[in-house]
A and B are shown apart, each in its own frame.
Chain A
Amino acid sequence: MMDFLLLAEQGLNGLQLGVMLFLMAAGLTLVFGIMDLINLAHGSFYMVGAYLTAALVPMLGGFLPALAVAVLLTALLGLAVEVVALRTLYRRDHLDQVLATFGLILFFNELVRILFGPVPIFLNPPAALAGTVDLWGLKYPAFRLAILGTGLAVAAGLWLLISRTRVGMLIRAGATNREMVMALGVDVRLLFGLVFALGCGLAGLAGAMAGPVLAVQVGMGEQILILTFVVIVIGGIGSIRGAFAGALLVGVVDTLGRALLPATFRLVMDAASANAAGAAAASMAIYVLMALVLAVRPKGLFPAA
């Protein structure tokens, strides 16, 4: 029934969704692990990245320069938000942080609606990546392949940054034992600012690359945020490696669930109820995965400490 090519395509789809989630999860898990800050507004930076890219394409005349500038601006915006709004929250408890960053979501959604209007806006992939590429007989969307490549490159870059540089060492140390790093006289303010900006830049990159595939609209950040939280809980909070494994796992399980479950249900029941039950089961798949992982490893797959 399901031939090999189709399965390979679904595997690629799963990986592509996974690396997209990884870009979101990497920033969120670092901020949570190192700064002990629950940042619900992480999705807002994803939205800002997408909107900035869409707005900059006509100005800069190309997708790539627009993407680069948008990512940079999103990181700077993140830095500004950290200084203005979040710095005072580090010592407060998590509920205060949730309330405050939830407020930021409302703020950014309204701001974007005022600036760009309520109707979703237009962003297409660059012409060179608009079509499909032939992978050994499998026709795959070129832009999705580009997302997959970019995501893997960013993952490699982050791994180098974190395991091979001095900043990376501080980040790892911060994720393992924050108090000790502060006691050793590291400028935590600067470190926190950098980590936050890095996370926002990655979210902006995810948004910019999602723009040509998804609707660029107010509220797009909240949709992906829920999946991102699932990823970091599965991966283990504060761990980049965990975020990577969790993201790929969620991407593949979600995609294969949607592809295979309805067909599987059709083997045991009539088509109409199989379609409905399969769809319902597919939308539950990642949460079942999360529950299973937590039952076996309550701190996630790769806990930071």
Chain B
Amino acid sequence: MTRSLLALTSVALTSALALLASPVLADPLKIGMITTLSGPGAGLGIDIRDGFALATEHLGGKLGGQETQIVEADDQQKPDVAVGLASRMVERDRVNVVTGVVWSNLALAMMPTLAGGKTLFVSPNAGPSQLAGSQCNPYFFNVAYQNDTIHEAMGKHVQDAGFKKVYLLAPNYPAGKDSLSGFKRYYKGAVAGEVYTQVGQLDYAAELAQLKAAAPDAVFAFYPGGMGINFIKQFEQAGLKGATPLFGPGFSFDQDILAAVGESALGAKNSAQWSPDLETPANAKFVKDFKAKFNRLPSMYAAQGYDAAVLIDAAVKGVNGDLKDKDALRAAMKTAKFDGLRGAVRLNNNQFPIQNVYLREVVKGPDGAVTNKLAGTVFTDHADAYAKDCAMK
């Protein structure tokens, strides 16, 4: 299933004038877009890819003023495939930057190969605690969040809302562990049950029956992508909706899921670093153009893909398009002034963002589409809990 498409960006037909005007006539910037394009996780990967493509288009097809080539590859949500693609990108395609990764277990698997090849790894989604803390890596940058932080925000909200007995569920993989430990860092009440399910699980009837028997006063569930759709539908059908409030991180209630569960999710509170109605000039344009270009509402993954391109753009500008010196490009990325869809975002010493985390609510928009709306700010300029374990300055 390993497909690879060599996709030249939209503005391949650059006019001769623009070419003459560009400051350095160096090699083109090559981006390795390794993401999940097939299987049940594909919705997330496709949104990242499309968000990245939209940013590239907004920047005139040139990131950092350089001719930009995107080499696309499908990791099939499999760590072994992702590692194979990473070494192909380093050795054969010789890309300057690898991005696109959705899943934390894949990011962890790819890291040694990419760091070994001195290739920058810009994660538009996966932010495992390992890479934020003691195993932080000079070649790893995250433009989205450290996994725990989104769940920490929900833990704080559930704590502040006065719930005392919460039932926790997450898939059994690195981000699932980060999720529940993040939630519990701020939620101090009793845990009615803590359940890890198989990644990609379809049927949650067994877990829901146990949950009902435990009679919690709220439920916190981290289920991204298709798992979230399965869980939310089955949660409602089990008669739990309305009886027990369901909370989750933004991943459990994002646009990819809302389109498929419809009104089942209305009213659900969730947390994220981005929302479609976040008021920055760049964001309004992003939401409008994404809808026009791809005929669907953007998810947070699409927004993160967009921001990955913005960060790369800033770094390449920082070295004036000279891509030969890999260390200089890395240094430029670390100090880059990064002004994405969320406004200005600062990177911490571990190269993860310091940012606001918002509370959102699932609502029916004016056009009838089910979407997220800002409902408050949980954290302002929040840094993750692992940065102190990272030796980088």
Contacts and interface: CB of A to CB of B under 8 A. Distances in A.
B196 interface: yes
A124 to B, nearest CB: 7
Contact of A217 (B43, B47, B194): B43
B171 to A, nearest CB: 9
Interface size range on B against A: 35 or more
Given A223-B40, A282-B198, A120 B260 contact: yes
Contacts of A144: 205, 237
A122 B205 CA distance: 20
Interface in A206-262: 212-220, 222-224, 255-256, 258-259, 262
Which of B202, B212, B227 counts the most A-chain CB atoms under 10 A from its CB? B202
A6 B210 contact: yes
B40 A215 contact: yes
B226 to A, nearest CB: 4
A93 interface: no
A10 B259 CA distance: 30
A256 B255 CA distance: 33
A258 B259 contact: no
A60 interface: no
Contacts of B237: 125, 130-132, 141-144, 212-213
B206 interface: yes
B205 A215 contact: no
Interface in B223-278: 225-227, 229-230, 233-234, 236-239, 255-257, 259-262, 264
Interface residues of A, number: 54
A120 B39 contact: no
A222 to B, nearest CB: 7
Contacts of A118: 42-43, 46-47
A119 interface: yes
Interface string B1-12: 100000000000
A279 B195 contact: yes
Interface in A267-283: 271-272, 275-276, 279-280, 282-283
A9 interface: yes
Contacts of A275: 194-196
A219 B40 contact: yes
Contacts of B197: 258, 279
A271 B42 contact: no
A117 B296 contact: yes
Contacts, number: 142
A119 B205 contact: no
A259 B239 contact: no
B209 interface: yes
B172 A124 contact: no
Which of B196, B205, B233, B255 counts the most A-chain CB atoms under 10 A from its CB? B205
Contacts of B205: 10, 13, 16-17, 141, 144, 255
B296 to A, nearest CB: 6
Interface in B42-91: 42-43, 46-47
B117 interface: no
A139 interface: yes
B200 interface: yes
Given A212-B233, A217-B43, A259-B210, A132 B239 contact: yes
A174 B328 CA distance: 70
Given A17-B203, A215-B230, A223-B40, A122 B259 contact: yes
12 contacts: A13-B209, A120-B226, A122-B260, A141-B205, A141-B238, A213-B233, A217-B226, A220-B226, A255-B205, A255-B206, A279-B196, A279-B198
Given A119-B255, A213-B203, A219-B38, 14 more contacts: A10-B205, A13-B206, A120-B256, A121-B259, A124-B233, A139-B238, A139-B239, A212-B233, A215-B229, A215-B260, A218-B39, A259-B207, A276-B172, A282-B198
Interface of B: 1, 38-40, 42-43, 46-47, 172, 194-198, 200, 202-203, 205-207, 209-210, 212-213, 225-227, 229-230, 233-234, 236-239, 255-257, 259-262, 264, 295-296
